A and B are shown apart, each in its own frame.
Chain A
């Protein structure tokens, strides 16, 4: 029975359509696994009643014409607003908040027949790379070294942990600087951040609006293609959503990449990157070459400015996006003392409601937007962003179809390892992924091997804008060549 949850979305879909399996059985199996996995702290709001109801409805409409994800049980990152269900963005400040509305992404998933098992842990307001800033406590990586609890990465740490531990068949994530791809790499699963504008942001709690994109986190590339298909599409409620047709992503998965050109950016050979990551990257390059792709060395000269620019732009937008959490209309409001006025209410509510990392970024963002500093920081960062975008445009104009890089500079690290470190050490986790957000490009992390401790490592492929189909196919080819099949030993 418990093996059911190990199914991929595509395998479950086929079994459901054939009638070999019901969504009720599959959903019940997931709910059992979830209840037994509290040690992972992945699911923070469980919704078994909703899940069973949706599963029954899915079974009632099952068949060859059933929608794309009919009966498939998924986990939903806490950043998505789900109607009538707690949606806290991992923050104390949204304690008790149950939206009256359903995000566009979850609406589309439900329209495609998906089943919601519950809400998934994450870094507070998606700010973090280790899921340690969550008001719910750390999410834990199902992969372990000895007895050390490891981070599943962040900010979509709960999503990564849940998918890797087979608590659900897939999960939604969001990615502002690497929050889908880094946790996917840390847990040995696949995660794709689509082109900015491909997936509606409506109903997703905003972190940095010009960078945020939602995407699927799944057990393999085919599942990513299927789930992304359901999440994409133009949404008139999001002004930055692109009015473009969505191709059939799964149909694009031929595995044939002969004649494709893959760029290897020299600037990503960074100082201090472990040799085994360099080796993984070289192995991945060789695999793509063996599959018939042409490998070219490329240069993305402004790469080194990406992280600083990102840590100006993202906090700037966040400082403004998070101003609405003021205790006036919803969520947490601090208890006030006699004589306290509106200013005290704001200060106490926000001091109690926001954790330290969020406070740090709100302060950085406020600072870089201040009169007198705006040009030196925010405007300069925007210019850097334009240059980074141009770097990629130049490379694509030279005929490069995709770019291969490591997904992360290390394997998963221990929870608590970075507690006393300079926050910048944590920010370095995003060094390979932020450029993609700044340029608005699609990027996918695919598990490609294990490090010497036996922990998964991922590679990242970066694609041309709006060419997720082609990117997924290249990832599919890499996945087949890498043949990553390792699973964490169940300890929870």
Chain B
């Protein structure tokens, strides 16, 4: 496999009133596992169903009901772990996290505190200009999602929707390796990209399929390097956890404002209290949810309704064998195979569907030209219509033929744009269209020469002026192109005009 090499970016430095400060950030990303059924019940995970329509007895915490693990969820967690180059734990176990809330019918969430299914892995977060941060993953564990409490439908009543209750989540926990708000956002997007490649999470942040808790602390320059050397968290500042963020923009805003809050406290001689905070995007501030003292005591203990989860290496190997080419590898290959720029390769590999489309267009053709056409013409046109690559009216085969016609010299770039528009709106085979509509570029020197001669003969005044000012040759080229309906090869026209005018 090809690997690209990167340099680590410098940490974000924030100038305080007294000192410089650096950011230290770790994320816990909750990703909804893409499966049809919930983690411990057969109820559907379909988003947007009628409230309380996707609820099994066990999801509702009915007396005597028992959880049974859904193998598909375990497979997806393993697949995710493999995609993050992580250690897969063949022995893991489920624990109960106990707390009371109306949208938690059992009174506990089944999670994996002590023995998670996935151990240490990594995510390479590219930051542009040859920079990338390697963020270590500490663990991934499987857990149940809670339901939804609705407090604004009635002045006196609260309502509960249990459709989401028991849906499988992967909690992906990073090490505190992220050093800036932009890196945090890029980490979430990169993780999302990998999960979408793997098909283990749809990554839909608006619907809550991906949410992040962001741990933020600040430290003085040099502290972090000492932490790295010793892995002693005492070298770092006290962190605060900003809960439940579902947009990368808000993540960045929250980190910035939280860092400034902490710096202000520290520079005033105060200390940071470890606590959970909520970000309010309207006021652009974080607010305390609960401090460590009033934090829940979750009374974790092994769930006695479930046996330890044992999986076999052979099963893991089978899953590994079906892993797709992942973004980093694909991007490296595109750069090597199609001579693409880093930027173009990034754009084309952002979504697996884009990359697949591009590869079909570029197959056996000029990769760079194909990339330009996919990125500039196709993506631009689709965006204008608010369409997705998956419902593009132009197939990769059609676009490939257009690119091929350009490379062969059969059509000019300008004609190609017209051809693309025809194919986009009315369809058809590009090669046949070029023939039918006489769009083929004229490269026959004799025919062009006749046209050049005619223009020169018809415009003796211009000929005189051109002889005095050779820049006017362009006017003749334009006239010839006009006379040939744009089909003449501009390079040939240019050459002949210069010759005939004796410039």
Contact = CB atoms under 8 A, between A and B. Distances in A.
Interface in B91-110: 96, 98, 100-102, 105-108
Nearest to A201: B66
Given A209-B305, A370-B299, A324 B66 contact: no
B66 A329 contact: no
A326 B301 contact: no
A184 to B, nearest CB: 23
A206 interface: yes
Interface string B37-74: 00000000000000000000100111111111100000
B313 interface: no
B105 A328 contact: yes
Interface stretch (A164-172, A218-226, A232-240, A424-432): A232-240
Contact of A239 (B62, B64, B102, B306): B306
Given A81-B64, A328-B102, A370-B297, A342 B158 contact: yes
Interface size, A (range): 35 or more
Contact of A320 (B64, B68, B107, B307): B107
B299 A366 contact: yes
A324 B106 contact: yes
B337 to A, nearest CB: 48
Interface size, B (range): 20 to 34
A320 B69 contact: no
B63 A97 contact: yes
B389 interface: no
Contacts of B60: 329
Contacts of B107: 320, 322-324, 326
A2 B123 CA distance: 77
Given A239-B306, A323-B106, A328-B102, A378 B64 contact: no
A228 B366 CA distance: 76
A239 B305 contact: yes
A130 B67 CA distance: 32
Given A236-B68, A237-B68, A370-B299, A320 B63 contact: no
Nearest to B61: A324
Contacts of B297: 370-371
A123 B307 CA distance: 28
A369 B299 CA distance: 5
A238 B301 CA distance: 19
Residue among B66, B96, B305, B306 with max Cβ neighbours from chain A (10 Å): B66
A203 interface: yes
B483 interface: no
Contacts of A346: 100
B304 interface: yes
Contacts of B375: none
B98 A323 contact: yes
Interface in A117-145: none
Contacts of A100: 57, 62
13 contacts: A97-B63, A100-B62, A202-B65, A203-B64, A206-B63, A236-B68, A239-B69, A239-B306, A320-B299, A323-B98, A326-B102, A328-B102, A370-B299
Interface of B: 57, 60-69, 96, 98, 100-102, 105-108, 158, 160, 297, 299-301, 304-307
Interface of A: 80-81, 87, 89, 94, 97, 99-101, 103, 201-206, 208-210, 236-240, 316-317, 319-320, 322-324, 326, 328-330, 342, 346, 366, 369-371, 374, 378
